[in-house]
Amino acid sequence: MNCAEWDRQLEAWLTGALPERDALEFERHAAECAACGERLDQLSRVSGVPRDIAPPGTLRSATMRAVAARRPAARIRRTLGALAGIAAVALLAMLLRPARKSASDFPGAGQVLMAMEHARPEFAELDAAERDLVRALSDRPEDPELASSLARVRRQREALRELVQQARS
């Protein structure tokens, strides 16, 4: 495997979509190639963000039930579909965007900047999900599924904040 092939398979490896045989060859190349190994090391520090940052599947149905009285169902489906598409494109762009180089000579400054930059869209998504859930809970305060989803989103935000803090250390 050469570096160009490795680069083409990076996204599939990060998402776990790479078949096991190809994943082993991908990892072997990263272990043998200093440039690819360093890139993977930098990405793994930042992409230690929990993979389940996306709202739970039950969130969609709970949100739709909570707002059904106010909006037509078709509009909700279109909005949620558009938001999911935007989130997927943002995540893909974040993963594929090359790291910016810093002029700073401070050791680790690039990692901190990269961690903060990569975490910004996730913080925005988690904050938006939290706002939506709080609004939905104000309409249905007795809904345990909504309360559980809100707690999960808050835990995910705290885990992301801790990961960014670790990059600063």
pLDDT classification of 103: cutoffs 50, 70, 90: very low
pLDDT at 156 over 60: yes
Q: Which residue has the higher pLDDT, 139 or 161?
A: 139
Write down the pLDDT at residue 154. 92
Q: What is the 3-state secondary structure (H, E, C) of the chain?
A: CCHHHHHHHHHHHHHCCCCHHHHHHHHHHHHHCHHHHHHHHHHHHHCCCCHHHCCCHHHHHHHHHHHCCCCCHHHHHHHHHHHHHHHHHHHHHHHHCCCCCCCCCCCCHHHHHHHHHHHHHHHHHHHHHHHHHHHHHHHCCCCHHHHHHHHHHHHHHHHHHHHHHHHHC
Write down the pLDDT at residue 118. 76
* 27-67 pLDDT, tens digit each: 888 889 989 888 888 776 665 545 455 555 566 666 666 65
pLDDT at 24 over 60: yes
